[in-house]
Copies of this chain bind each other. A is one copy, B any other.
Amino acid sequence: MARREMRWFGWGDPAHVSHGLPDGALELLRARVGLADVPQPPFPASAIRLPAAVEFDIPGVELRTDHEARLLRSAGKSYPDLVRMRAGALETAPDAVAVPLLADDVRAVLGAGVAVVPFGGGTSVVGGVEALRGEHPAVVSLDLGRLDRLLSVDARSRVAVFEPGIQLPAAEAALNAQGFTLGHFPQSYEYATVGGCVATRSAGQASTGYGRIDAMVVGLDVATPAGDVHLPAVPASAAGPDLRELFVGSEGVLGVLTRVALRVRPLPAERRYEGFMFGSFDQGCNALRALEQEGAAPHVARLSDESETEVTFAMAGREGVAADLAARYLRARRVERGCLAIVGWEGTLDGVEDARAASVSVLRRHGAVGLGRSPGRAWSRGRFDGPYLRDDLLERGVMAETLETATTWSNLGVLYGAVGDALRRHAPVVMCHVSHLYETGASLYFTFIARQREGEEIQQWREAKAAACDAIVAAGGTITHHHAVGRDHAPWLHHETSQPGVAALRAVKAELDPEGIMNPGKLLATGGTVP
Tell whether A293 pairs with B508 under 8 Å between CB atoms, given A408-B235, A440-B218. no
A233 is an interface residue with CB less than 8 A from chain B:
yes
Chain A residues 263-298 with CB under 8 Å of chain B are 263, 289, 293
Cβ-defined contact, B251 with A441, below 8 A: no
Give the residues from 437 to 454 in chain A that come closer than 8 angstroms, CB to CB, to chain B. Answer: 438-443
Q: Which residues of the other chain, B, contact A508 by a CB distance below 8 angstroms?
A: 241, 504, 507-508
Chain B residues whose C-beta falls within 8 Å of the C-beta of A440 in the assembled complex: 157-159, 218, 233, 235, 263
B235 engages A240 (CB within 8 Å): no
Stretch at the interface among A58-66, A140-148, A335-343, A473-481: A473-481
Contacts of A248 in B (CB 8 A): 241-242
Copies of this chain per assembly: 2
Shortest beta-carbon distance from A258 to chain B in Å? 13
- How far apart sit A214 and B239, CA to CA, in the bound complex (Å)? 12
- A239-B478 contact in complex given A231-B498, A245-B246, C-beta closer than 8 Å: yes
Residues from chain B with Cβ under 8 Å of A504 in the complex: 229, 243, 246, 254, 508, 511-512
Query: Are B498 and A236 interface neighbours, CB within 8 A?
Result: no
Q: Lowest 3 A-B CB distances belong to which pairs?
A: A245-B245, A235-B441, A235-B438
Task: List CB contacts (< 8 Å) of A482-513 with chain B.
Answer: 482-485, 489, 493, 496-501, 503-508, 510-512
Apart from A239-B479, A245-B245, what are 11 other A-B pairs with CB-CB below 8 Å?
A: A157-B440, A158-B440, A201-B237, A229-B497, A234-B407, A235-B408, A237-B406, A237-B480, A237-B496, A240-B251, A263-B439
Query: Are B510 and A238 in contact (CB-based, < 8 A)?
Result: no
Instruction: Give complex CA distance A503, B513 in Å.
Output: 12
A372 at the interface (CB under 8 A from B): no
**Which of B158, B484, B503, B506 contacts A238 (CB under 8 A)?**
B484
**Is A304 on the interface with B (CB-CB < 8 A)?**
no
Given contact pairs A228-B500, A507-B507, A238 touches B410 in the complex (Cβ within 8 A): no
Interface residues of A in 179-229 (CB under 8 A from B): 200-203, 212, 214, 218, 224, 226-229
Chain B residues, Cβ within 8 Å of A250: 240-241
With most chain B CB atoms within 10 A of its CB, the pick from A250, A440, A498 is A440
A523 at the interface (CB under 8 A from B): yes
Do residues A476 and B202 form an inter-chain contact, with CB atoms below 8 A? no
How many residues of chain A are within 8 Å of chain B by beta carbon?
85
- Between A and B, 14 residue pairs with Cβ closer than 8 Å are A158-B293, A227-B500, A232-B476, A232-B478, A233-B408, A235-B443, A236-B438, A236-B481, A239-B478, A239-B484, A240-B250, A240-B505, A240-B524, A246-B504
B238 adjacent to A200 (CB under 8 Å): yes
CB distance from A54 to the nearest CB of B (A): 29
A289–B158 Cα distance when bound, in Å, is 11
CA distance A500 to B408 in the complex (A): 36
